[in-house]
Chains A and B, each alone.
Chain A
Amino acid sequence: DVKVTQSSRYLVKRTGEKVFLECVQDMDHENMFWYRQDPGLGLRLIYFSYDVKMKEKGDIPEGYSVSREKKERFSLILESASTNQTSMYLCASSLMELGAFTHNEQFFGPGTRLTVL
């Protein structure tokens, strides 16, 4: 079974703090993703990575950065947390398959519920 773990289930930070959210997957997946989930807005992609040291902006990258130094680990960084970054953060991973019939199902971690005061 694919296992995706996130460093914290619940986190409370103050405005202006630097926040690190860690994600680790144990299935040697190439792709890793960070989403935030808010009521009524569904899942929104923040950043993703197809390889070590590689990163691509998703749909809402503003206010976030990421780091992928090792294949199994993908970190989301809030340089200066703001109250509008209070949300549920979900990490996911998937295999990289190339070709016409790619099966890139994403497997999710349990989520980190971040509150910024």
Chain B
Amino acid sequence: GQQLNQSPQSMFIQEGEDVSMNCTSSSIFNTWLWYKQDPGEGPVLLIALYKAGELTSNGRLTAQFGITRKDSFLNISASIPSDVGIYFCAGQNRDDKIIFGKGTRLHILP
């Protein structure tokens, strides 16, 4: 079946650094979604992307829908301690099914 390759699996960064993570696939998606999951909680939707090439921001977060429709990235600028968590990408395919990546676990060092 379709798969999303999300990388990196985990990141250790210093507070204040910028963060970049991405998702790639061999398949085309119509929508890309980015979620964040805090420890012990359910995922919360951060950004939704609907068009190839679209660049959308939500505060310090910026995400882009790749031109080929097979990838997406998420950037976090000037990281703060509350950014800690797992970030998931998800793509909606032509059958309207949502496929999830396995997540990027973000750790922030003081």
Q: Chain A: residues with CB nearer than 8 A to chain B? A: 4, 9, 40-43, 59, 90, 92, 101-111, 113
The bracket for how many chain B residues form the interface is: 20 to 34
Is the CB–CB distance between A107 and B45 below 8 Å?
yes
B110 interfacial contact with A, CB 8 Å: no
B48 interfacial contact with A, CB 8 Å: yes
The 10 closest A-B pairs by CB, nearest first: A108-B42, A42-B102, A43-B100, A111-B42, A108-B43, A110-B42, A109-B42, A90-B42, A105-B48, A110-B41
Is the CB–CB distance between A111 and B41 below 8 Å?
yes
Minimum C-beta distance from B80 to chain A (A): 23
Minimum C-beta distance from A16 to chain B (A): 27
Residues of B within 8 A of A43 (CB): 43, 88, 100
Is the CB–CB distance between A41 and B42 below 8 Å?
no
B101 interfacial contact with A, CB 8 Å: yes
Is the CB–CB distance between B42 and A104 below 8 Å?
no
Is the CB–CB distance between A42 and B103 below 8 Å?
yes
Cross-interface CB contact of B96 among A42, A102, A111, A113, cutoff 8 Å: A102
Is the CB–CB distance between B31 and A103 below 8 Å?
yes
B59 interfacial contact with A, CB 8 Å: no
Supposing A42-B88, A43-B88 touch, asked if A105 and B50 sit within 8 A by C-beta, the answer is no
